[in-house]
Amino acid sequence: MKLSVCMIVKNEEKILEQCLNCVKEFADEIIIVDTGSSDKTVELAKKFTDKVYNFKWCNDFSKARNFSFEKASLDYVCWLDADDYINKENLEKIKKLKNSNNNADVYMCKYGMCFDEQNNPQFIYYRERILRRNLNFKWQGFIHEAICPVGKIEYTDILIEHHSREKSNSKRNLQIYQYHIKKGEILDARAQYYFAKEYFYNKMYSQCEKNLKKYLKMPNKFMPNVIDAYITLASCLLQKNKTEKALDLLLKSLKEIEPNAQLCCKIAQVFILLNKKQNAIIFYKLALNCDRDEKSGDFICKQYTKLIPLLQLTYLYFKQGDLKNSYKYHLLCLQEFPNDKAVVFNDKYFKDNGFKQ
């Protein structure tokens, strides 16, 4: 397998070299498309490749990415962002894949983000990462862009780390959506969901609520996004101190969707706010039984599958005076997360008060 790595960049001088030092280890061709940098991004990119191109920014990430794919010339294309990182173990996995006789059309790789203090990703999902070039895959969506995988699809255990950095313009994405809507473009379900989420990120809760309700009435929805839409709607209601309404919404959502760990934790959180701790215990226990395979399509946040429910069960049983069960869940948490600050704090408390394993 010969591999073209394609990237779109803008003002990435602080992080680009770290990414490209990984890329050079496995790429047979590096394509860099700059969308209007005012720093030394282009200069740095040219240290790694002579295939550096300019693209006039048009508020459309898919057009920029498709432009980068068009410049590729080898068997397969791989996309990366400047704030992506690949460690040595996963670089070796990519090299092994390249040297294999496998002939898939799409290779799905794990995408990890939200790292803990030990640099372990707490949020993992699969992305279409390496694609056969002659099938002419196209990016879709002017923001939160993606490719629809078709053909022979293989899931790998390759992990790409995404260490996202603070954006100077937190409203950039929202403004891009507003630009396209003003032009008369109609949002499909996926775009409508992400548009609503941008209002939430900008603490514009009424607008978020309005647009998520519109999304939930649309056809062709992606179930993980539906689950998150209900959780986000509940969060909007909680911001308005409408706790009972938030609980009603979340419980009614269970008629439409299967419970996942994050949804169960959210319901439990609301029960705590309503001082119904026994109900919260039930849903935190349910969260522990909702650990889903990453290949299910769900966006897996490990904190909700284990850390949060175990910590909260430790706390809730403690508040009820049930120290036996509190200690039981603490030990389970200690086994999984021995270096977490809250777990360390709890462990010191239990040891200081004579509890032993």
- Going from the first residue of the chain to its last (357 residues), give the mean pLDDT of each consecutive group of 10, the final group possibly shorter: 97 96 98 98 98 97 98 98 96 96 94 83 90 97 94 97 72 94 96 97 97 97 93 98 98 91 96 97 95 58 90 97 96 94 95 87
Map residue 132 onto helix, strand or coil. strand
Counting DSSP H helices and E strands in the chain, the numbers are: 15, 9
DSSP notation for 77-123: EEE--TTEE--HHHHHHHHHHHTS----SEEEEEEEEEE-TTS-EEE
Spatial CA neighbour of 148 closest among 158, 135, 134, 159 = 135
Distance CA(179)–CA(84), nearest Å, equals 28
User: What's the pLDDT score for residue 116?
Assistant: 78
- Comparing C-alpha atoms, which of 272, 274, 276 is closest to residue 308? 272
pLDDT for 245 equals 98
Q: How far apart are CA 308 and CA 123, in angstroms?
A: 13
Residue 153's CB is within 10 A of a number of other CB atoms, namely 13
Please report the pLDDT score of residue 118 as a whole number: 77
What is the second-level CATH architecture of the domain 3-162?
Answer: Alpha-Beta Complex (3.90)
Nearest to 195 by CA among 167, 210, 184: 210
pLDDT of residue 197: 97
DSSP strand pairing (106-115 vs 153-162): parallel
The pLDDT assigned to 318 comes to 97
> Are residues 26 and 1 in contact, defined by beta-carbon separation less than 8 angstroms?
no
Of 1.10.600.10, 1.25.40.10, 3.40.50.720, 3.40.50.300, the CATH number of 257-352 is 1.25.40.10
SS3 (DSSP) at 146:
strand
Report the SS3 class of residue 158. strand
In the chain, where the domains are located: 3-162, 257-352
Give the three-class secondary structure for 354: coil
8, 33 contact by CB (below 8 A): yes
Q: Determine if the pTM surpasses 0.85.
A: yes
